[in-house]
Structure 1
Amino acid sequence: MNQSPFQELQKWYRSQCDGEWEHQHGIKIESLDNPGWSVRIDVAGTALAGKSFPLIKRLEDKRNWLHCEVVDGKFEGHGSEFMLEEIVRTFLSWAAA
């Protein structure tokens, strides 16, 4: 049975929790007012720390856009209102590579 991207993200998060990491790091998912989504995932202290990530910028139109990058030890994904799952999939693909 295939898991949803959100189930996979929960699994990844749980695998990072070691009694220390989760007190300083974590995942934030917020809505934007343009409208859209912002996803920030701390990768400091994980196997992903220091792993290169190619900047992703897609702008099909002002209602269909995606921007993902890693900045200062954080995966940062931002996208239009129907891109939340795509942002999470982008993170998971990078994490699994």
Structure 2
Amino acid sequence: MESIKQLMDWYASNCDDDWEHTFSIKIQTIDNPGWSFKADIMETEVEGKTTFEESIDDDNDWYNIKSDGETFKGYGDPTKLGFLLNKFAEFVKTPVNEIPLS
């Protein structure tokens, strides 16, 4: 998956013997069921970058994505992990003046 490579590259680019001791990326399962993805973006090139909440809410087809400028958060149904990682990759590559994710 290209999105996993992009995530690894972004993480590696921020590791400076300090950042990685304070900030993190977490991928977890949740009981809805589904996935939770959280990436700290403080002290990175996208710190302060916010997004409008993007979501779809259907019984078996759902996701929610938002950045508050400190943390990028994404949640989705069991089929959405790749989608969430792709959205994060888009987020970190998109210039700050092009905030919407969709």
TM-score, structure 1 as length reference: 0.91
- Structure 1's consecutive aligned runs of 4 or more residues displaced over 4 angstroms after TM superposition are none
Is residue 86 of structure 2 the alignment partner of residue 86 of structure 1? no
Structure 1: tracts of 5 or more residues without a match: none
Is residue 53 of structure 2 the alignment partner of residue 37 of structure 1? no
Structure 2: tracts of 5 or more residues without a match: 95-102
Q: Which amino acid in the other structure matches residue 94 of structure 1?
A: F
Deviations 1:33-74 (A, max 9, x none): 111000000000001111121211112x21110101113611
Deviations 1:11-31 (A, max 9, x none): 110001011000000100000
Q: Which amino acid in the other structure matches residue 14 of structure 1?
A: A
> Aligned residues: percent identity?
31
Q: Distance in 2 between matches of 1:92 and 1:56?
A: 15
Higher strand share: 1
Q: Distance in 1 between matches of 2:6 and 2:69?
A: 24
Equivalent position to 2:14, from 13, 16, 26: 16
* Number of aligned positions between the proteins: 94
Give the secondary structure class of the aligned counterpart of 2:86. helix
Equivalent position to 1:67, from 46, 49, 64: 64
Give the secondary structure class of the aligned counterpart of 2:42. coil
The answer to whether the 8 Å contact 2:47/2:69 transfers is: no
